[in-house]
Structure formats: structure tokens, C-alpha cells
Amino acid sequence: MYFPSRIRALAAGAALLAASAIAQAQQLPNVVILATGGTIAGAGASAANSATYAAAKVPVDKLIAGLPEISKVANVKGEQVFQIASESFTNDNLLVLAKRVSALVKQSDVDGIVVTHGTDTLEETAYFLNLVVRTSKPIVVVGSMRPGTALSADGALNLYDAVNVAASKDAMGKGVLVTMNDEINSGRDVSKSINIKTEAFKSQWGALGMIVEGKNYWFRAPVKRHTAQSEFNIDEITTLPQVDIAYSYGNVTPTAYEALGKGAKAIIHAGTGNGSVAAAVVPTLQKLRADGVQVIRSARVPGGFVLRNAEQPDDKYDWVVAHDLNPQKARILAMVALTKPLSAADLQRVFWEY
């Protein structure tokens, strides 16, 4: 039976629906998800495997397809930048990722960026982006402690939260952020402090806020220089200098410091206590300094900060203190800072300010 008026009505209804969908999409922010691998893209053999799995397996399009709720939050596009476990991240990976982020945030049709990442070195990448990407747009780094195949997997909610924050105007100007386990942390401050629980990421100075059911609750903002206020710019960086970390402990010898000092522009000393340097190691560090290697005292102790000229004569030895940065974060800042020819005094200013 032929009902032209009915067909016309159905066609009109379909057109209305399409128009309203387009209108809604035009109102939503545009967020790009840059995927790099990790557990958030991991897969285990069974739902009981929350810790035994293969990282970096699930492609970004599948991650997005598996989370339809984000289509109500933002217009989301995915790019697979890498597919690696983050313990294998290299300086080249950092440069490629940061340059992609920098290019995207310059686009007027991009409102925010999410980077999915393994949790092992997530804190290093987040801090690197915080130092070198000149933007006020939200950049949110996110991972998970359990693969999506596991019971009580945390990746889906972490990613949903990350897209929400990246799509939020109130997340602008706060530097690079990390959303894990309902918290919004500063990419500068946050560190992986528990290696086998979903409550893995902590900032010793506290989270910036929380995100609950897609709503951001802010309680503080960063005071250190970052992103748009940074003197460093990924667009002007083509390579990163070698900076290595030497871990200290009782009965330590200079062997590691001597070996690392051969090729490094800076050595991060992961010292005992307040970044203390064993008597057996002092002469080696003095020689490295005399040879032009920067010596930066951090601490293996996760909390507090290293005091300048307390137990160690930093002024006399021309050494730098990492302030509250742990050794892996101090390495990131030293690499970025030493893309410029800085004296130890200049470098110390950078460590005070960033």
C-alpha cells in the first residue's frame, strides 16, 4: 500500500533527528585520544587475571567503541601513536608524542587531549608534557592498573573521567592532569606509589580535585610553572640530552656514578635520607662536576624535599637540589632544562620554579 504523506512524514522525522544529532555534536567539545599502549589497552586470559595479562594489545578505536558513554561528553577521535608497554618508553617516544600533542592543541577544532598510557612511566610523560607543551587547553594522561578483561577493571571509568576532564573548560590552565581512581592529580606532582592496587597514583601535596559521575570538584591549583607559562617549548626541541639516575644505599661504591657519568649531561643522585651522598661517592661527583656534568641531588625517600646546603655543601660543590621532585621526575626536568646551556645556578632556578 502506498502512503506518500506517511513516507514524507517519516522522511521529515528522520531529517529532524539527523539535524538534532548534528546540532548536539556541534555543541559538544572535541577531544582527541592519543593512545600509546599500557594496561589500559591490555588483555588477560580470564576475568580473574587482574595482574597477569599482556599490556598494549587493544587498539584505540576498540577502547573508544567499548565506552559509548563518552559520545555524550565529547566528539571523540582516536589516534594510535604507539602500542607499547610504558616501561619501554624512550626519549624519542616522548618527543613524538609531545610534538603530536603540540600540533593538535593549535587546532581550533580541538578542545582537549587525552593520552592513554602505561602506568609504569605515566608520571614521567605527564611531567614532560607539563613542561614543554605551550597550551592552556586540558591535557589529561590516563592509565589503568587492571586490563579491561578483568573483574572490576578500572580503565573504563578512568578513561571516561579523562575525557570529561579534557572536555571541561574548568580544567583549562591547570597544567597536565592525570585522572586515576576518581582523583584529578597534577602531572607534575603525581607518582605511581603502589604497584598493584587501583589506588596507585598519589601526589604528596594532595590531589587537585576529584571527578564523580562526570563532574569535576576542584580543591586547589598548581603553583609551579607549566604549559603556557613554561620557558620550554617542544616545537623548539629536537633531541633530549642523556640524564641518568644512580640509586644510593648502604655500602654504595662510585662504580655506577663513574659509568653513568661517562655519557650523561647530568646525574640524578637518588640519595638516602635528604639526598645524602656517601663519603665514598663525593670525590666521584666532584670530578664529574669538574668535567661539566651537572650533579642533581634527589632522594630515594618518596616524601618531603631535598634541602640545599643542609648536610651537603651544594654551594661549595656547585651541585643542584631537586627540591620535591623524585629521581624520575628530576631526570625529566633536567633533560628539558639542559636542552639549553645552563649553569648550575640557572639549573637550580629551574628546579625551584618547575
Report the side by side order of strands in the sheet with 266-271: 243-247, 266-271, 294-299, 320-321
Per residue, what are the HEC states of 254-314? CHHHHHHHCCCCEEEEEEECCCECCCCCHHHHHHHHHCCCEEEEEECCCCCCCCCCCCCCH
Q: Is 86 annotated as a binding residue?
A: yes
User: How crowded is the C-beta side of 271, counted as CA atoms within 13 Å?
Assistant: 30
Q: Which residues touch 124 (CB under 8 Å, ≥6 apart)? A: 89, 94, 328, 329, 331, 332
**C-beta of 328: minimal distance to ligand DGL in Å?**
13
Residues 84-103 that bind ligand DGL (CB under 6 A): 85-87
Element (H, E) at 186: strand 183-186
* Distance from the first to the final alpha carbon of the chain: 74
Task: Confirm or reject binding of residue 145 to ligand DGL (CB under 6 A).
Answer: yes
Task: Confirm or reject binding of residue 38 to ligand DGL (CB under 6 A).
Answer: yes
Measure the CA–CA gap between 80 and 70, rounded to whole angstroms: 18
Question: Based on CB atoms, which residue is closest to ligand DGL, 159 or 338?
Answer: 159
Question: Based on CB atoms, which residue is closest to ligand DGL, 145 or 295?
Answer: 145
> Catalytic site residues?
39, 119
Q: Is 276 annotated as a binding residue?
A: no
Q: Which residues touch 8 (CB under 8 Å, ≥6 apart)? A: none
**C-beta of 66: minimal distance to ligand DGL in Å?**
17
Q: Is 346 annotated as a binding residue?
A: no
Residue selected from 39, 116, 130, 164 as contacting ligand DGL according to rule CB under 6 A: 39
Number of residues interacting with ligand DGL: please give it, by CB under 6 A: 12
Residue selected from 44, 143, 209, 254 as contacting ligand DGL according to rule CB under 6 A: 143
Closest residue to ligand DGL, Cβ-based?
118
**C-beta of 58: minimal distance to ligand DGL in Å?**
12
Annotated binding residues, written as ranges, equal 86, 119-120
Binding footprint of ligand DGL on the chain (CB under 6 A): 38-39, 55, 85-87, 118-120, 143-145
Annotated binding residues for substrate, written as ranges, equal 86, 119-120
